[in-house]
Amino acid sequence: MARNHNLSLLCLFSLFLLTHAKLSLDPSDLKSFTTIHRDLGVQGQRSPLGNPCTVPGVFCERIISNDAHVLRITRIIFISRKLSGFLSPAIGGLSELKELSLADNELVDRVPSQIINCKKLEVLDLGNNQFSGEVPSELASLTRLRVLDLSSNKFTGNLNFLGHFPNLKTLSLANNLFTGQVPRSLRSFRNLQYFDLSGNSLLEGPVPVMRKIESLRPQYPNRYVLAEKSTATGNSSSSANGPTSAVDLSSSSPAPGPSVANSPKHKGRKRKPAGWIIGFLAGALAGSICGFVFLVMFKLTLAAIRGGGRGQGPEIFSPKMIKDAEDLAFLEKDDGLASLQIIGRGGCGEVYKSELPGGKQIAIKKIVQPTKSDATELNDEDSKLLSKKMRQIRSEINTVGRIRHRNLLPLLAHVARPDCHYLVYEFMKNGSLQDVLSQVARGNRELNWFARHRIALGIAAGLEYLHMSHNPRIIHRDLKPANVLLDDNMEARIADFGLAKAMPDAYTHVTTSNVAGTVGYIAPEYHQTLKFTDKCDIYSFGVLLGVLVMGKLPSDDFFQNTREMSLVKWLRNIMTSENPSQAIDPKLMDKGYEDQMLLVLKIACFCTLDDPRQRPDSKEVRCMLSQLKGAEQLNQI
C-alpha cells in the first residue's frame, strides 16, 4: 500500500509539471504504451487515452527531440499489481526506457526480443512471474543494465544471453529451468556485487564465486573478480543438485594468496624449511628496526625545522584570500583570540570573527584538544569525544579544504597548536539558515518566497557537485538549516563537513558503527542499517525543503502535538488532504506563488520517500527546482 501511495504521489507531480510546462507525450511512446498497457492486463485502471504519464507507476521525463521539448516514458514500475497478461513486443518502441519493473505478478509467455531496442535500459526486473521460454540472446546488447532480475520464473535454455555487461551490479537468475554451462563471461562483469544462480538444477560446470582482490595501487578502487568453485575432489563438474551460488560482495573476504602446486622432488640438495623461516624472521626484524629508526629521525628533523613542535604554522587552502601566512600569525599566540568577538558556539568549540589586513572578514572555529600529558588522564567518554573532534577536523580538511564551489563554504586555512586547532572560514554575514528562519518566526525579519527558492536551489547545486561532479563522491551526512550559511547576497553555502564521508565509485554504500547526524533529518534506512548513501543526503534535503516552505523545524513543538509527531509524516498526510495549502508558512500566503510552493512541497515528499531507490538524485532535484515558473526572477535578488 505504501509503495502504491508513493507512486501515486509521484504521478501527481508528473501531472503538475505537464499542466504548467504544456508538454505532450511523444506519439510513438503513446502508441507503444497503449498496447503494452492493454497486453499486461492492468486491472482497476482505464486505458490511457491521452496521457500515460498520469498512470500510477509510469514516469516521464522531458527530452529534446527535433529542437523541441517532448515527454518520453522512462520508467514503468508495475510491482505486485496481480497482472496476468504478457509483455508486448511493443516494449521496443519505448526507446528512452530506463527501468522496467514487473516483479511479483502472474505474467506469462516469453520475453519479446524487441526489448533490445530499449538501449538505455538500466533496470530489468521480471522476478516472481510465470515467464517461460528462452531469454533472447540479444539481451547482451543492453550494456547499460545495472540490475537484471529474472528469478522465480520458468525460463529455459542456456545462459548465452550473459554476454558483456560492464555496468551490471545485481544479477539474479535463481529458481528457473536454465540448462547448459555456466558461462565464463561472468568473469568480465567487473562491477558485479551480487549474483544468484541457485535453484537451477540442470546447470553444469563450475560455479563462479566472488573474491575481493586488494589493489596494489591504493588510488584505485578495489576490484572484484570471479573465480571458479570446484568440487571437493577437484573435479570441474558440478554436483548433482546443480549450482547453488548466491554471493554478496559486500561481505566478501580478501582473496587468499597464490597457492603452489605440488611439484616433483628435486634431485639436488633439499632446502631446510627451518633455515627459510629463521632467515625470513631475521630480515623482517632488521627491516622493521631500520624503518622505525628512520621514521623517528625524520619526524625529529621535521619538527626541528618547523620550530620544535610548538606549531606547524598555517596550512593555507585559499591563497587568493590569504596571500601571506603572516596574516594569521596572531593565531600562533597564546592570547591571539582574546580581543575577538565570539559569534557562535557549537559541539566542537567556539567561533570567532576576525578581519584580514585587506579588510576581508573571516570566521575562526577553535577546537580545543588537551596536551599529551593531560590526554593520558582522560576518562573513556572524554577520550572518545576527543577522537571524534580530531576525526571531524580531518574530515573538514579533506573535503572543503580541497574543493571549491559557490554553494560550499570553503575552508581557507588550518592552524595547529599544541592545545587546539583553528579552522579559518570565510565570514558569512547573514549567519545560518536556522538563525534567519528563527528571526522570521519572531517577526524580526522577512524572507520572501524568491529568497527561499534561491536558497533551496543553491543547496541543491552544492549537493549535485558533491554527489555528481566530485571524485570521489562526498556524502555530507548532516544537512540541516544550522549547517547552511548565507552570504551577503543570501546565497546558500553548505557548511560543517565534520561528518562528511568520501565514497569511491566502486562502493554502493558505506557502513558506519553508529548513526551520525541530527534527529529529524536522518534517513530511516541509515538509522536502521547503519548504511548510508547519497540518497540519505537527499532525504535530509527533502526535510530542509519542507522547513523552507512551512517555516517550521522538525524539532518544533508544533509537530510534537500532532498525531504523527514527525514533520515528514505530517507533511505526507497534509499533501494528500483536501487543503494542502495549510502546510505553507502563513507569511508566504496570498502573494500569488502558492502553486510553486505546493510543487516544492511535493518535491520534498519525493525526496523523503521511505524507499531510497524511489528518491530522485541531486541533479534531478536541482532540475525540478530550476524549472519552476518565475525562477528567472531569482537572479534579480
The residues annotated with a catalytic role in the active site are 478
Give the DSSP H or E segment for 354: strand 349-355
Q: Of 70, 85, 76, which Cα lies nearest the Cα of 57?
A: 76
Calpha distance 57→60 (Å, rounded): 10
Sign for the CA dihedral angle at 182, 183, 184, 186 comes to negative
List % helix, strand, coil for the chain (3-state, nearest 5). 35, 20, 45
Strands 58-65 and 68-77: antiparallel
Q: Of 519, 626, 627, which Cα lies nearest the Cα of 567?
A: 519
Query: Helix or strand or coil: residue 1?
Result: coil
Q: What is the DSSP-derived secondary structure letter of residue 497? A: -
Calpha distance 47→38 (Å, rounded): 7
Contact 12, 18 (CB under 8 A): no
Contact 107, 85 (CB under 8 A): yes
- Residue 331 makes CB contacts below 8 A (sequence gap 6+) with 314, 337, 364, 415, 417, 422, 424
Give me the DSSP letters along 174-205.
-SS---EEPPGGGGG-TT--EEE-TT-TTEES
Q: What is the DSSP-derived secondary structure letter of residue 139? A: G
Calpha distance 608→375 (Å, rounded): 42
Listed in sequence order, the DSSP H helices in 306-332 are none
Output the nine-digit C-alpha cell for 195: 549474483
Calpha distance 94→30 (Å, rounded): 9
Distances in Å between the Cα of 66 and the Cα atoms of 28, 69, 70, 436, 613 are 14, 8, 9, 46, 32
Give the DSSP H or E segment for 544: helix 534-550
Calpha distance 414→226 (Å, rounded): 45
Q: Is the peptide bond before 136 cis (omega within 30 degrees of 0)?
A: no
Greatest CA span in the chain, whole angstroms? 98
Q: Which amino acid is at 420?
A: C
Strands 123-125 and 108-109: unpaired
Q: What is the DSSP-derived secondary structure letter of residue 598? A: H
With b for 16 or more beta-carbon neighbours within 10 A and e for fewer, the 290-317 pattern comes to eeeeeeeeeeeeeeeeeeeeeeebbebb
Output the nine-digit C-alpha cell for 121: 535500459
Residue 22, classified by CB atoms within 10 Å of its CB into exposed (0-12), middle (13-18) or buried (19+), is exposed
Contact 94, 33 (CB under 8 A): yes
φ, ψ for residue 242 (rounded to 5)?
Answer: 80, 175
Contact 367, 389 (CB under 8 A): yes
Tell me the CA end-to-end span of the chain in Å, nearest whole number. 44
Output the nine-digit C-alpha cell for 446: 522577512
Q: Of 84, 103, 73, which Cα lies nearest the Cα of 39?
A: 84
